[in-house]
Amino acid sequence: MSRDFPRSRRIEDQIQRILNDVVRVQVRDPRLRGAMITAVKVSRDLGVAWVYYTAFDPGHSRDELDDAFRSALKFLRSQLASQLTVKHVPELRFRYDDLSETSQAMDQLIDDAVSNDADKSTDADDDLQ
């Protein structure tokens, strides 16, 4: 079992769950309303946790969210210390997760390519007649 689900993966999942709950319920900073932790990756020695986040509210800028997470860092780490099942709480480093923006851009490129191909096939059919 431990080979299929290593300790670091369990800790990443636990950190993600705890931080999402804390941000959703306990943090009072309005800049973090609608923010969601999308992933957590811990270093091999469990000393650092990179916390990836995104926001569902398009009114929140990336810089605003960065500042909000920086200002809430001590509170979030203290909440982790009280709920996490490790001896030492990892240092938290927040990073904006732009996966949704990247996937939207890729979807748009695919839609454009399909539309372009459909236009070319229609033009080719007109030329044959």
Q: What is the CATH number of the domain that holds 63?
A: 3.30.300.20
To 5 degrees, how large is the angle CA 68–CA 69–CA 73? 125
- Res 87 pLDDT > 50: yes
Report pLDDT for 105: 58
The verdict on 65 and 118 lying in the same domain is no
pTM, to two decimals = 0.72
Query: What SS3 class is residue 48?
Result: strand
Query: Cβ-count burial of 53 within 10 angstroms (0-12 exposed, 13-18 middle, 19+ buried)?
Result: buried
Report pLDDT for 55: 86
Give residue 111's domain range. 99-129
Once rounded to an integer, what is the mean pLDDT over residues 92-121?
A: 73
- Res 1 pLDDT > 60: no
Once rounded to an integer, what is the mean pLDDT over residues 88-114?
A: 76
The verdict on 54 and 116 lying in the same domain is no
The count of structural domains within the chain is: 2
The verdict on 23 and 36 lying in the same domain is yes
Once rounded to an integer, what is the mean pLDDT over residues 84-90?
A: 90
The verdict on 66 and 81 lying in the same domain is yes
- Res 46 pLDDT > 70: yes
Tell me which of 116 and 20 has the higher pLDDT.
20
The verdict on 118 and 74 lying in the same domain is no
The verdict on 72 and 117 lying in the same domain is no
